[in-house]
Amino acid sequence: MGSIDWQTLPTGSLSMSTLVALEPAALRRLLKSGLRRGVSSADLAALLAQDWQWSLESPEAQGLLAALAQRGWFACEGDLWKTHLGGSSAT
């Protein structure tokens, strides 16, 4: 998987309709993995390796996670990464 341009991601709250329209498919899988109970850091690392060929610590992965967190869509809570639909904490 190549790189993704964080600047092109929509801003504002994440809705299911926004989530299912996101490209690439790997980004949708990442966000879907965080729904309900969340995804552990180990499982997130495996997902990033499988879909993006990135390690969790890579600059690319850290950039993606920061862009998603800035939008209030995906954030680490303890050892779980969770997707947040609805209201955004980003401004």
Residue 1 falls within a domain, yes or no? no
Domain count, the chain: 1
Confidence of residue 2 (pLDDT cuts 50, 70, 90): low
The token pair at 28 is: 């949708």
**What are the tens digits of pLDDT across the range 26-78?**
999 999 999 989 999 999 999 999 999 999 999 999 999 999 999 999 999 99
3-class state of residue 1 by DSSP: coil
Q: What CATH number corresponds to the domain at position 74?
A: 1.10.10
Residue 5 falls within a domain, yes or no? no
pTM: 0.85
Confidence of residue 89 (pLDDT cuts 50, 70, 90): very low
Bridge partners (DSSP) listed for residue 83:
74
Residue 23 falls within a domain, yes or no? yes
3-class state of residue 25 by DSSP: helix
Residue 33 falls within a domain, yes or no? yes
Question: What domain range includes position 40?
Answer: 17-83
